[in-house]
Amino acid sequence: MTRIDDTFSRLKDNGKKAFVSYVMAGDPDYDTALEVVKGLPAAGVDIIELGLPFTDPMADGPTIQLAGQRALEAGMTLQKTLDMAAEFRKGDDTTPIVLMGYYNPIYSRGVEQFLADAKAAGIDGLIVVDLPPEEDDELCIPAQAAGLNFIRLATPTTDDKRLPKVLQNTSGFVYYVSITGITGAANAEAGDVGPEVARIKAATDLPVIVGFGIKTPERSEAIARVADGAVVGSAIVEKIGAGESPADVLAFVKSLADGAHRA
């Protein structure tokens, strides 16, 4: 049982849906980002997705691309991202952290070394956007052997033929991308998402969490009603990019989390 498994088990026992928040590690700088990350659990966040800055974030829209650029310009690295997770762990040993990013920085460090370092830093799961199931031997299988969940994305274009392949080595939860396209591009509609979530849940016992296109507490609640929880990234990152204080960012996060928890 990982922290992710424990979290979903606890939420289920309490009849609650999950709220997952994404922030970019090191945006706009290390200290500010760490302050926000440390404040997320008290704001109602059940699982933290920590973005790993990368120079070519092909699945991300302008908001998260710019966050990655700001973080990189401020000197953020893979090592500093792991340091941030380790620092967070000094005060919180229960909230799961999922590292979300691209394979290149992991490959550059070396898979074995990266997995040992990630585990030591208190990372619980990985979402690696550019590694398809056909490459599971590359990172997915070793990650699970190291005790890390490997979380896969399903999308509106993941048909019934493709779905079993996507699910075969996935653990922790399934991340359903509610729209076709990049992050922050459109609004998620519960009426469209519900049937897709039901289709995925018919094929797996894993929780299905929905992200992309959720920007308000009302939408967070609506999406959480038809899934096991909601993920918000771009709307939070936008506030950080606009220079809002950590306190104001966390107040916004709390409104989104309250929405999901009302579902």
- Give the pLDDT confidence of 99-156 residue by residue, as tens digits: 999 999 999 999 999 999 999 999 999 999 999 999 999 999 999 999 999 999 999 9
CA distance 25 to 57: 14
pTM for the full predicted model: 0.96
Residue-level pLDDT at 54 = 95
Opening angle at CA 257, ends 182 and 41, nearest 5:
105
| Catalytic (active site) residue 49 | yes
Q: Which pairs from 76-79 meet CB under 8 Å and 24+ separation?
A: 76/25, 76/26, 76/27, 76/30, 78/52, 78/105, 78/106, 78/108, 78/109, 78/114, 79/117
| Catalytic (active site) residue 137 | no
Q: What is the pLDDT along the chain (263 residues), one digit of tens a residue?
A: 899 999 999 999 999 999 999 999 999 999 999 999 999 999 999 999 999 999 988 878 899 999 999 999 999 999 999 999 999 999 999 999 999 999 999 999 999 999 999 999 999 999 999 999 999 999 999 999 999 999 999 999 999 999 999 999 999 999 999 876 656 656 777 788 999 999 999 999 999 999 988 999 999 999 999 999 999 999 999 999 999 999 999 999 999 999 999 99
Residue-level pLDDT at 66 = 96
Residue-level pLDDT at 190 = 77
**Are 221 and 263 contacting, i.e. CB atoms less than 8 angstroms apart?**
yes
Look up the CATH superfamily of 3-262: Aldolase class I (3.20.20.70)
Instruction: Identify the active-site residue in 5, 46, 49, 238.
Output: 49
Instruction: Identify the active-site residue in 5, 27, 46, 60.
Output: 60
